[in-house]
């Protein structure tokens, strides 16, 4: 096996929402693979930066770009600013996302727009801004990894805008792959299952819900952020160069049951 095919040495990757949870797991996995990370989001990423420094080599770096990702124009402009400051960006991981819960009969326009703006609209315009820089290179080459969801395939309940946004991410991944594969850009996605993060702490602390979820997962455990991170490294590395429009479930077998 050519292990260099899985290396990100010398490459710089943008990860949105890298302050905690899955985004942090992806950033640290990139660090273990030899890459540099630029974390993007509203919240401080000091914890991620500290953990990154503990595992990365002296030649690697973690930088942050603080902005409100609900502003898609600011998010798109960030691509140019980061590219101009740090040099060509090898890949982008559209991970940042939010969720709002309510019965569909009572769902508000504000909760619809807030989720769709960050989860889908900003993800598209970040991808567009990134692709414009990549295709202008003498030898275009770039990678985009979108974070989808089990709800890209299933309906769920009480999360209308989240389900719509993640179903949209699945379709968008395929569309961009069709348009950009011949332009040197790989666009793929990961669909995480139930992962141990702050967002799922309440579920894990509820004995009945925790048991029901684990009973559905063939692997018999919750996933860890590093499980998603390692899959992201694969989709960012040379090993996945012939993958376009793929959506990889990392779910412990949830969808197989």
Under a CB-based contact definition with an 8 Å cutoff, are residues 51 and 29 in contact? no
- Rounded Cα distance between 224 and 231, Å, is 12
H/E element, 167: helix 160-180
Per DSSP, the residues of 69-92 read: TT-HHHHHHHHHHHHHHH----EE
The answer to whether residue 242 is catalytic is no
Q: Centre a 10 Å sphere on the Cβ of residue 161 and count the other Cβ atoms it contains.
A: 25
- Rounded Cα distance between 208 and 164, Å, is 27
Under a CB-based contact definition with an 8 Å cutoff, are residues 157 and 181 in contact? no
Q: Centre a 10 Å sphere on the Cβ of residue 257 and count the other Cβ atoms it contains.
A: 10
Phi, psi of 223 (to 5 degrees): -75, 165
- Rounded Cα distance between 113 and 115, Å, is 6
Question: 130, 162, 194, 242: which one is catalytic?
Answer: 162
Residues known to be catalytic = 162
């Amino acid at each position: 096996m050519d292990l260099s095919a899985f290396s990100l040495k010398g490459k710089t990757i943008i990860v949105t929402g890298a302050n905690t949870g899955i985004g942090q797991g992806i950033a640290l996995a990139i660090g273990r693979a030899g890459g540099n990370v630029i974390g993007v989001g509203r919240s401080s990423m000091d914890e991620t930066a500290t953990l990154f420094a503990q595992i990365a080599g002296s030649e690697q770096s973690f930088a942050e770009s603080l902005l409100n990702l609900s502003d898609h124009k600011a998010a798109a402009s960030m691509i140019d600013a980061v590219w101009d400051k740090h040099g060509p960006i090898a890949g982008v991981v559209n991970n940042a996302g939010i969720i709002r819960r309510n019965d569909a009969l009572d769902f508000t326009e504000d909760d619809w727009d807030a989720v769709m703006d960050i989860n889908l609209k900003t993800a598209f315009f970040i991808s567009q801004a990134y692709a414009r820089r990549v295709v202008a290179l003498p030898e275009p080459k770039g990678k985009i990894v979108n974070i989808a969801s089990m709800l890209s395939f299933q309906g769920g309940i009480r999360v209308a805008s989240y389900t719509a946004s993640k179903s949209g991410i699945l379709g968008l991944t395929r569309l961009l792959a069709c348009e950009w594969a011949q332009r040197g850009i790989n666009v793929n996605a990961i669909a995480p299952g139930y992962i141990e993060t702050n967002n799922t702490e309440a579920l894990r602390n509820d004995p009945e819900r925790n048991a029901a979820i684990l009973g559905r997962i063939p692997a018999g455990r919750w996933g860890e952020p590093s499980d998603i991170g390692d899959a992201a490294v694969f989709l960012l590395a040379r090993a996945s160069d012939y993958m376009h429009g793929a959506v990889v479930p990392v779910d412990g077998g949830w969808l197989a049951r």
